[in-house]
Structure 1
Amino acid sequence: MNTGGDQEQRTEQAVFVYRPELADSRAAVRVRALRTASGRAETLVLPLMSMVLVAAYGLLRGMLPAVVAVSAVLAAGTGAFGGVRGRRAMARRLHAVVSHYGLCRTVVDERGFATTGESMSHTADWKLYTRYAETAELFVLLGGPRATCLAVMPKRGAEEPADVDRLRAILERNLRKL
């Protein structure tokens, strides 16, 4: 039996109009790094591997333990710095792709979302994304554990304040919140 509420739910949509900003891409990459297992692993692997390799080399070469410890700490710091630089580069690459859209209009409904820009458009259904995270400024959509899908929807683009709540409700029905 189809009720009027079911029809309303199917046609519910949220509309966002915004221009992609580098800060949005940086925040989305940061969310991925902190809230997903693969992002946390990427954040930890480089410093840990640097530290372990330097310590192993120092111990195998018979260096003084104090020298090995200091070298390992410096290597971990260098690895962490490299990880941060890598995330910044990832955010710049992401922004380079989406900045070509220019002014974007994204319509989100129960089937997925469609973004239309000044020079190109993109459509995605919910099968492409499995999870989402919400920050004070953004909704970040993430693909599955092995997917590299990442979409950003800035709250500042909501055509009306209720669109943020509508988007949150649509996402809760279709994706898992991180």
Structure 2
Amino acid sequence: MSTGGDQIQRTEQAAFVYGLTLADLQGVVRVRARRTAAGRAETLLTPLVITGLVVAFGLLRGLLPVVVVSSAVLGVGAGVLGVVRGRRGMARRLHAVWAPYGQCRTVVDDRGAATTGETMSYTADWKLFTHYAETPDLFVLVGGPRASCLAAVPKRGAEEPADVDRLRAILDRNLRGL
């Protein structure tokens, strides 16, 4: 029995224990590239710039149209290859940064997320992030105007199956979905 001012607020929380793998971080980079404006711009900009430069050079030099078109196709291919290699490199660099932290435990509630690893711990409130995306394997938290702040919570780390649904509900209350 409680009276008006004596009510204790219960905070719903979800707990996850995991080690971030290279595959997890490749998923994070993929989400950023596909679902954020900054990621889409980076994805499109490289092939377009390379193709534009190749076509401009060919036209200025007076090359035959078939050579210009062939060069443009090769430029698009080189640009796409550059984007793919860049994403793989970004995921490897992120993994190199996160690997020393080892096994992590993240507890998420309506105030934010607290993560404790083997060699570090940090707390982030929801002001740090603006959006989230859900993949079959991950929850990806995105923040900053250029999606520069990223965090990942692998679903496989849920301490109990209901934690995945609890985390989704917490994220829906505090962030916008991508």
Q: TM-score, normalised by structure 2?
A: 0.94
Show structure 1 runs of 5+ residues with no match: none
Cα root mean square deviation, aligned: 1.4
Partner of 1:109: 109
CA contact (8 A) 2:25 2:95 kept: yes
Q: CA deviation at 1:144?
A: 2.7
Q: 2:168 matched to 1:168?
A: yes
Gap change, CA 1:42 and 1:64, over 3 Å in 2: same
Q: TM-score, normalised by structure 1?
A: 0.94
Partner of 1:19: 19
Q: CA deviation at 1:97?
A: 1.4
- Output the CA distance in 1 between the equivalents of 2:98 and 2:106: 13
Runs of 4+ in 1 over 4 A off after TM superposition: 1-4
User: Percent of aligned positions with the same letter in both sequences?
Assistant: 70
CA contact (8 A) 1:131 1:144 kept: no
CA contact (8 A) 2:114 2:122 kept: yes
> Partner of 2:20: helix, strand, or coil?
coil
Partner of 1:73: 73
**Match runs of 1:1-178 below 5 Å:** 7-8=9-10, 11-178=11-178
- Output the CA distance in 1 between the equivalents of 2:93 and 2:12: 33
- Output the CA distance in 2 between the equivalents of 1:168 and 1:2: 30
Measured against aligned partners, the alpha-carbon deviations of 1:44-89 in whole angstroms (never above 9, x if no partner) come to 0000100000000000000001000000110111011001100111
Between the two proteins, the alignment pairs up a number of residues equal to 175
Show structure 2 runs of 5+ residues with no match: none
